[in-house]
Structures are given as C-alpha cells and as structure tokens.
C-alpha cells in the first residue's frame, strides 16, 4: 500500500477527529460499526474521535424519497474531517427519482480519486506479498455521469449513454497516480485504456496521463517513475496470469471499477479490499464490496475491508502510526487463520473477527 500521506488537510493539530459514518444499506450497517470500534481501539494514536451518524442509500430513498439527503452532504462539508461509507443496494432497474448516493457524494465533495490497494498477506511477516498493487480510479466522470436516453425507433427501442472524459479530470487522477507510484519501491505506473477502439475519449485520457511527467509544475520529480500501457481487456487477463507485473494502475472510472473487483479474486475475497475516495479537501473510506443482501443480518459479513478502509483514511490524513496498527492487526488475523468469515472459507462471525482484530491492536 502507500506508506505516506498524500495530503494532510491540516487536521494533525486538532484535538478531536470528527468522522462521519454512513453505513447506508445491507452489510454496511454491520461492517461500519466494526471500523468504528477499531478506530476507537487506537487510543492516543489519533485525536479523540467523534463520530457523526449520517444516512444515505436505497433504504433511505424508500423511506424518504431521497437517496442522499442535503443534510448529510452539508454535515460532511461543514462538520466532518473525514468519513466512512458502507455499501449501497442500488436496484438493477430504473427507479424514477433514484440515483446512487455514493456516485453523487463523490461528485458533490469532489472526491476525484478512488484508491484501491489489492495486497495479499504473505505466510511469513518478512516475506513479500505475491500480489501488491494499487488501482487508481478516476471517480467523477466516464459513463458514471449517467447521461442516458431511451427512444423508440422503427426498429425498436434504442438506448444511448454519453461518456465524458476531460483533460482536467485525467490530469488530476494522473497526478495522484504518479504521486503514489513515486512513493513505492518499484515506481512503476500502468495506464489502462482502450484507445485502439475509443481513440478520442480514451485517447485523451492516455495522452493526458502520459504528459504528467513533463508538466513544468512537476519539474522532474517523477523522472524515476516508469510508464507502461495496457488495454483494459488484456489487463484483466494479465492480472490473473501475472499479477506481479503491476504496481500502480490508473484507469478511467468504469475500467477502474471492473479491474479492482477482478483483482480482489487474487487475494481471496472482496471482503478484504479497502478503498478511499480522496479529493484535495476531504477523504472518505469505503470497502469495495457491495451490500451483499444474501448475507445481510446473518452476522457473517467480513469486517476486514472496512477496517482496512479506516486505516487508508487515517494514513491519508497523516496518522501513519494508527494506520499501521490497524493494518498489522488485520494481517495477523488473516495470517493466523483462526477467525475468518465464510467468504474466506472460515466459520467465524463478524463480531468474532472484529474481536480478534481488536485483540491485536
């Protein structure tokens, strides 16, 4: 993962750290409390945490007619230093008035970077992990601008979706990806695209990211970073065949979403993969897994991704010692293998795994 903060947001001198909690739907209501407990267990390694409970999601929409209340956004903007988000149960069909609150939050708070480390836990502490990569996903545009039309034609219905790629967004995510790559031992960055087919949109993304190195503002600071390119379809193939070739991968929104979910299979479960949604003024941790309605309420959801997301969030804010303690505790629990949830072929409950992590912190 990354070991140094990318931005600090000037929170280090605070007497308390105000953290918004948005469990949202499904197992989010089970794993976000686990992340909260892990943060509390850090004690003096971080300022006294104050948690603010907030709502968003499909269940909120069915209850109130609004998936992302204005109050939630305003409290995050004006009162919180950071946040943790759980999961969303978005319907697969179109529902009038509903749109994904996590997509909306990323845009409203300008959280333009979704950073998703995928790291395996080596059998021995001093061994290198077999998989150690970061997917850096542009978070605000691509097909996720949700500009779709459906019309009737003489040949039947016709659906179209508009895809947006801008130089500004590509430059911002490219800068973030270069910073991450430059801080890692290999200093290697792979640009993911499909510009052999989408020569205009992916072409702009590819050329903009490649140009980050030569920007006058960077003044040679990324000269040690090597650049590779990979078409998105072959990137997925090579992830499974030879994951060791990847270090930091930067991709437009949709490709980054798909690649990071696929990469989770390399380390055993989506229940292990954390992420942060990061901008220049705010950061929000978010486990990569979905709302998992098939196991909701059964007490067997894996809390490790949410705890790792809390660690990523703290690291991004500059609290590296606390983040290290969370990561080390999670890794010890995985390495010992005594307390694992069913997604990792274990028989433990969410609470048993959480207690195992807390005992290691």
b/e code 41-72 from CB counts within 10 Å (16+ = b): bbeebbbebebeebbbbbbbbeeeebbbbeeb
pLDDT for res 27? 97
pLDDT in tens, 246-265: 999 999 999 999 999 999 99
Q: Indicate if 160 and 256 belong to the same structural domain.
A: yes
Tens-place pLDDT, residues 61-93: 999 999 999 999 999 999 999 999 999 998 878
Same domain? For 226 and 144 the reply is yes
Task: Give the pLDDT band of residue 3 (cuts 50, 70, 90).
Answer: low
- Give the best-scoring range by mean pLDDT among 86-100, 144-158, 241-255: 241-255
pLDDT at 9 (0 to 100): 57
User: Whole domain around residue 19: which residue ranges?
Assistant: 15-111+290-360
Residue 283 forms part of a structural domain: no
Tell me what pLDDT residue 24 has: 96
Distance of CA 189 to the CA centre of its chain: 18
Regarding whether 143 and 262 lie in a shared domain, the answer is yes
**Mean of pLDDT over the chain:** 93
Residues 75 and 161 in one domain: no
At residue 15, the pLDDT reads 79
Does the pLDDT of residue 7 top 80, yes or no? Answer: no
4, part of any domain = no
Whether 118 maps to a domain, the answer reads no
Q: Which of 231, 266, 301 is the endpoint of a domain?
A: 266
Give 12-43 pLDDT, tens digit per residue.
Answer: 557 789 999 999 999 999 999 999 999 999 99
Specify the pLDDT at position 79: 96
The per-residue pLDDT for 172 is 96
Domain boundary among 225, 250, 266: 266
Query: What residues are paired with 278 via a beta bridge?
Result: 113, 283
Same domain? 212 vs 155: yes
Q: What is the mean pLDDT of residues 106-117?
A: 95
User: For the segment 164-176, what is each residue's pLDDT rounded down to a tens digit?
Assistant: 999 999 999 999 9
According to the model, what pLDDT value does residue 255 have? Answer: 96
Across residues 123-134, what is the average pLDDT?
Answer: 87
Whether the pLDDT of residue 139 is over 80: the answer is yes
Do residues 165 and 216 share a domain?
yes
Residue 72 lies in a domain: yes
Mean pLDDT in residue range 121-143: 90
- Quote helix, strand, coil % in the chain, to nearest 5: 40, 20, 40
**CB-CB neighbours of 126 under 10 Å:** 5
pLDDT at 296: 94
Count CB-CB contacts under 10 A for residue 233: 12
Do 296 and 258 lie in one domain? The reply is: no
At 126, is the pLDDT very low, low, confident or very high (cuts 50, 70, 90)?
Answer: confident
- Mean per-residue pLDDT, 218-242: 95
Q: Is beta strand 156-164 parallel, antiparallel or unpaired with respect to 142-153?
A: antiparallel
- Residue 274: what pLDDT? 96
pLDDT band at 229 (very low <50, low <70, confident <90, very high): very high
Q: What is the pTM of this model?
A: 0.91
Residues 136 and 246 in one domain: yes
**Chosen domain end from 266, 300, 329:** 266
Residue 44 lies in a domain: yes
Q: How many domains does the chain have?
A: 2
The verdict on 148 and 254 lying in the same domain is yes
Measured between alpha carbons, how far is 90 from 341 in angstroms, rounded to an integer?
25
Res 258: pLDDT: 94
- Co-location of 161 and 260 in the same domain: yes
257 and 295 part of one domain: no
Residue whose token pair is 């992830």: 239
CATH of the domain at 310: 3.40.718.10
Instruction: Please report the pLDDT score of residue 281 as a whole number.
Output: 92
Report residue 47's pLDDT band, with 50, 70 and 90 as the boundaries: confident
pLDDT of residue 2: 59
pLDDT (mean) for 222-232: 96
Report yes or no on 274 lying in a domain: no
Domain membership flag for residue 81: yes
Q: Are residues 75 and 137 in the same domain?
A: no
Percent of the chain with pLDDT over 90: 85
Asked whether residue 271 is domain-assigned, the answer is: no
Q: At 190, which helix (H) or strand (E)?
A: strand 188-193
């Amino acid at each position: 993962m990354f070991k140094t903060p990318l931005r600090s947001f000037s929170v280090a001198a605070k007497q308390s750290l105000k953290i918004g909690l948005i469990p949202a739907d499904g197992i989010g209501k089970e794993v976000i409390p686990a992340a909260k407990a892990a943060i509390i267990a850090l004690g003096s390694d971080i300022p006294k945490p104050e948690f603010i409970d907030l709502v968003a999601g499909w269940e909120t929409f069915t209850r109130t007619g609004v998936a992302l209340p204005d109050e939630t956004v305003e409290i995050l903007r004006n009162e919180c230093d950071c946040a943790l988000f759980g999961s969303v149960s978005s319907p697969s069909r179109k529902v009038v008035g509903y749109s994904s609150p996590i997509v909306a939050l990323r845009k409203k708070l300008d959280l333009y970077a979704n950073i998703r480390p995928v790291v395996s836990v080596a059998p021995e502490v001093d061994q290198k992990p077999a998989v150690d990569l970061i997917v850096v996903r542009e978070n605000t545009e691509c097909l996720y601008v949700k500009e779709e039309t459906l019309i009737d034609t003489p040949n039947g219905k016709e659906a179209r979706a508009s895809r947006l790629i801008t130089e500004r967004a590509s430059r911002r995510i490219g800068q973030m990806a270069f910073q991450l790559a430059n801080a890692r031992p290999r200093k290697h960055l792979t640009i993911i695209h499909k510009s052999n087919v989408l020569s205009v949109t992916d072409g702009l993304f590819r050329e903009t990211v490649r140009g980050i190195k030569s920007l006058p503002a960077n003044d040679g600071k990324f000269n040690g970073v090597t650049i590779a390119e990979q078409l998105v379809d072959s990137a997925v193939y090579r992830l499974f065949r030879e994951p060791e070739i990847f270090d930091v991968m930067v991709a437009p929104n949709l490709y980054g979403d798909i690649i990071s979910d696929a990469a989770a299979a390399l380390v055993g479960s989506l229940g292990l993969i954390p992420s942060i949604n990061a901008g220049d003024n705010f950061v929000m941790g978010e486990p990569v897994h979905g709302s998992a309605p098939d196991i909701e309420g059964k007490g067997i959801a894996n809390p490790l991704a949410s705890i790792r997301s809390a660690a990523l969030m703290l690291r991004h804010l500059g609290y590296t010692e606390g983040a290290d303690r969370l990561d080390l505790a999670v890794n010890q629990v995985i390495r010992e293998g005594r307390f694992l949830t069913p997604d990792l072929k274990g028989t433990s409950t969410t609470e048993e795994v959480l207690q195992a992590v807390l005992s290691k912190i």
